[in-house]
Amino acid sequence: MTRHKEIKAHEDDLAVSEEVYKLARLRADNELATMRDNMFAVHNVGLVAGRAQAFGSIKLLSEFLEYKQLAQVIDSKDFLKIPGVTNIDDYLEKLGLGRSTAFSNLKIARTLTAEEVQLLGQVGFTRRDLLSYASLPEEKRLEIREGKVINIESASREEIKDVIEEVIAESHRVKEEAETLISAKDKVLKSKGDVINKMERELKKFEKDAASKGLTLDEDAFLQLMSNKSTSFDGYMLSMDPDFVMERAGEITPRMRACLISTLHNMKMQVLAAYDTAVMNYGSPGLNPEIMDEFEAWEKAQGQQS
More confident residue, 220 or 258: 258
- For residue 28, the model assigns a pLDDT of 56
Distance from the first to the final alpha carbon of the chain: 122
Contact 114, 63 (CB under 8 A): no
Region 131-152: mean pLDDT is 77
Region 274-286: mean pLDDT is 77
Cα 281 from Cα 284, distance rounded (Å): 9
- For residue 159, the model assigns a pLDDT of 77
Per-residue pLDDT tens over the stretch 202-231: 767 767 777 787 878 888 888 888 888 888
Average pLDDT for the chain: 75
Q: Which of 30-39, 84-93, 278-287 shows the lowest mean pLDDT across its residues?
A: 30-39
**pLDDT over 70, % of the chain:** 69
- For residue 43, the model assigns a pLDDT of 47
- For residue 262, the model assigns a pLDDT of 93
Region 256-269: mean pLDDT is 92
Cα 306 from Cα 168, distance rounded (Å): 88
- For residue 120, the model assigns a pLDDT of 80
Per-residue pLDDT tens over the stretch 15-52: 555 665 566 556 656 655 555 555 455 445 444 445 55
- For residue 42, the model assigns a pLDDT of 46
Q: Crossing angle, helix 36-49 and helix 51-76, to 10 degrees? A: 150
Instruction: Please say if the pLDDT value at position 288 is more than 70.
Output: no
Length of the chain as a residue count: 306
- For residue 117, the model assigns a pLDDT of 83
Region 243-249: mean pLDDT is 87
Q: What is the DSSP letter of 253?
A: -
How far, in Å, are 38, 182, 183, 200 from residue 188 at the CA level?
Answer: 57, 10, 9, 18
Task: Give the pLDDT band of residue 166 (cuts 50, 70, 90).
Answer: confident
Contact 179, 147 (CB under 8 A): no
Question: For residue 97, is it left (φ>0), alpha (ψ between -120 and 50) or beta?
Answer: beta
Instruction: Please say if the pLDDT value at position 258 is more than 50.
Output: yes
Q: Is 218 helix (H, G, I), strand (E, B) or coil?
A: helix
Task: Give the pLDDT band of residue 1 (cuts 50, 70, 90).
Answer: very low
Contact 64, 109 (CB under 8 A): yes
Region 289-303: mean pLDDT is 63
Region 276-288: mean pLDDT is 74
Amino acid in position 103? F
Q: How many degrees, rounded to 5, is the angle at CA 239 between CA 233 and CA 244?
A: 145
Sign, CA torsion 235/236/241/244: positive
Helical ranges in the chain per DSSP H:
2-34, 36-49, 51-76, 88-95, 99-111, 114-122, 127-134, 138-145, 157-212, 217-239, 242-247, 254-282, 292-305
Cα 34 from Cα 275, distance rounded (Å): 101
Predicted model pTM: 0.40
Cα 137 from Cα 296, distance rounded (Å): 85
**pLDDT over 90, % of the chain:** 5
Instruction: Please say if the pLDDT value at position 292 is more than 70.
Output: no
Instruction: Please say if the pLDDT value at position 134 is more than 60.
Output: yes
More confident residue, 44 or 233: 233
Per-residue pLDDT tens over the stretch 51-81: 555 666 778 888 888 888 888 888 888 888 8
Region 116-138: mean pLDDT is 81
DSSP letter string, 73-134: HHHHTGGGGSTT--SHHHHHHHHT--HHHHHHHHHHHHHS-HHHHHHHHHTT--HHHHHHHH
